[in-house]
Amino acid sequence: MNYKTTLLTLIIAAFLVLPSNLRAQAKYVGTKSCSMCHKTEKQGQQFKIWQDSKHSQAYKALLTAKADEISAKKGGKKAAENPECLKCHVGDASLIASAFKEDGVQCETCHGAGSEYKAMSVMKNKAESIKKGMTEFKDVEKFCTTCHNSNSPTFKEFKFSEMLKKIAHPTPKG
Ligand code: HEC
Ligand code: HEC
Ligand code: HEC
Ligand code: HEC
């Protein structure tokens, strides 16, 4: 490659990675921000459904003696400080470092950091929400099994459709 082609290739490459960089800038806003809208009956009470689910307890599950015992076998740290546990019981490193850690597996663990898509004008448009960082679920089962798998020290099995029903939180139709 000569100098000019190399430069051109670099410029094109920069454009290609730009959207993912923008997405990476999205910040976590916490479940209270989502609950502002997603708590009403009309919207489907997603906040209450999540609160009543095990996912909201996933961080607290690390505060037990049993958890520390499991953690001790995996590196000796306290479970609630062990990144190996937190990545499935909370989410990625920036969510773990945020003020929202104690909410465990929360809206944004699954739906993506919400600062850029949580505005009403964006939320009403699915494509736009996805562009601004909302997760697009192409294969829900595959998504669940990023955590529900044999890397979980307490894993037995994961019956997808049964488990999906337990956490279902649809927007009511009509
Ligand atoms: C200002 C109000 C508001 C806030 C805040 C808000 N949402 Fe929404 N959200 C909506 C509305 C309105 C819809 C569209 C619902 C419909 O389809 O009728 C929606 C839709 C969604 C959808 C479904 C998208 C689709 O069509 O598949 C998801 C997922 C979602 N919101 C997650 C979140 C999360 C996570 C947060 C917090 C980070 C959040 N929302 C914050 C109002 C809001
Ligand atoms: C464990 C992961 C997970 C958590 C936690 C979670 N969601 Fe979801 N949510 C999903 C998945 C997966 C879907 C899509 C289900 C499907 O397509 O069958 C979904 C769908 C939705 C929808 C769209 C429903 C529809 O009818 O299209 C809304 C709105 C939503 N979630 C909001 C929230 C809010 C608000 C929270 C937190 C209070 C939350 N979710 C927590 C995984 C999660
Ligand atoms: C980020 C990791 C993560 C993802 C992604 C995830 N889960 Fe979970 N899930 C957990 C953890 C951790 C627990 C255990 C929480 C506890 O027991 O305190 C759990 C518990 C559950 C439970 C309760 C189990 C029981 O025996 O009652 C159900 C149901 C569930 N998840 C369904 C799902 C479904 C369906 C999906 C995909 C839409 C999903 N989860 C995605 C981490 C995750
Ligand atoms: C690959 C993801 C993953 C990792 C890594 C992980 N967990 Fe979990 N954990 C889960 C899921 C999913 C569940 C619920 C279903 C199950 O047991 O697999 C769970 C359940 C648990 C429970 C049972 C909670 C209850 O309500 O009874 C404890 C305790 C626990 N995990 C501790 C830990 C500790 C300690 C670590 C770190 C050494 C850890 N987990 C690492 C995904 C994970």
Q: Which residue segment(s) compose the domain that 87 sits in? A: 27-115+137-166
Pocket test residue of 55, 57, 85 for ligand 4, highest count of atoms within 8 A of CB? 85
Please tell me if the CB atom of residue 117 comes closer than 6 angstroms to any atom of ligand 2.
Answer: no
- Residue 132, ligand 1, Cβ within 6 A: no
Nearest CA-CA partner of 107 in 123, 85, 131, 84: 123
> Does residue 13 fall inside a structural domain?
no
* Domain assignment present for 108: yes
In a domain, 160, yes or no: yes
**40 in any annotated domain:** yes
Any ligand 3 atom below 6 A from CB of 96 = no
Among 46, 51, 55, which residue has the most ligand 3 atoms within 8 Å of its CB, making it the best to mutate? 55
Q: Is residue 20 part of a domain?
A: no
Per-residue pLDDT tens listing for the chain (174 residues): 566 655 555 555 554 554 554 545 899 999 999 999 999 999 999 999 999 999 999 999 999 999 999 999 987 789 999 999 999 999 999 999 999 999 999 999 999 999 999 999 999 999 999 999 999 999 999 999 999 999 999 999 999 999 999 999 999 997
Which pLDDT does position 122 carry in this prediction? 98
Q: Is the residue at 124 inside a domain?
A: no
| Alpha carbon of 110 to ligand 4 centroid (Å) | 17
Residue 166 and residue 50 in contact, taking contact as beta carbons nearer than 8 Å: no
The answer to whether residue 109 is domain-embedded is: yes
- The pLDDT, as a whole number, for residue 77 is 83
Query: CB-side exposure of 50: number of CA atoms within 13 Å?
Result: 23
Q: Is 34 among the domain residues?
A: yes
From the CA of 19, how far away is ligand 4's center (Å)?
Answer: 33
pTM: 0.93
What pLDDT was estimated at residue 2? 64
Residues 6+ apart with CB under 8 A from 50: 31, 56, 106, 107, 167, 169
pLDDT of 6 reads: 58
Task: Give the pLDDT of residue 76.
Answer: 72
Count other C-beta atoms under 10 Å from residue 60's C-beta: 15
Predicted local distance difference test score (pLDDT) of residue 25: 83
The span from the CA of 126 to the CA of 86, in Å, is 30
Q: For the chain, how many structural domains are there in total?
A: 1
Neighbours of 72 (CB within 10 A): 13
**Do the beta carbons of residue 69 and residue 25 sit within 8 Å?**
no
